Amino acid sequence: MGTLTIRSLPEDVIQGVKTSAELHNRSMEQEIRELLQRRYGPRSEVLLRIRNRWAELPRTEANEVEQWRQKGRR
């Protein structure tokens, strides 16, 4: 594994990471690691998250979509 050093971060960004880390009960380092892995993780993980979120949405029928399209054209 590699190491990353980031210099000259604005204080508000640092405070945001600290706050988020505290909310998740982890260190700032772990919080940043989690953020980077979520953003730049393997494509399969990203697709899985998309599928899981998609499954939570209410089902939509084709006729509903057509009604929305027609309504939007008025």
Q: What is the pLDDT of residue 13?
A: 96
The answer to pTM > 0.85 is: no
Which pLDDT score is estimated for 25? 97
Q: What's the confidence (pLDDT) of residue 38?
A: 83
* Rounded-to-integer distance, Cα 23 and Cα 48, Å: 25
How big, in percent rounded to 5, are the helix, strand and coil portions of the chain?
70, 0, 30
- pLDDT for res 72: 81
Extract the residue ranges of the chain whose pLDDT is less than 50.
none
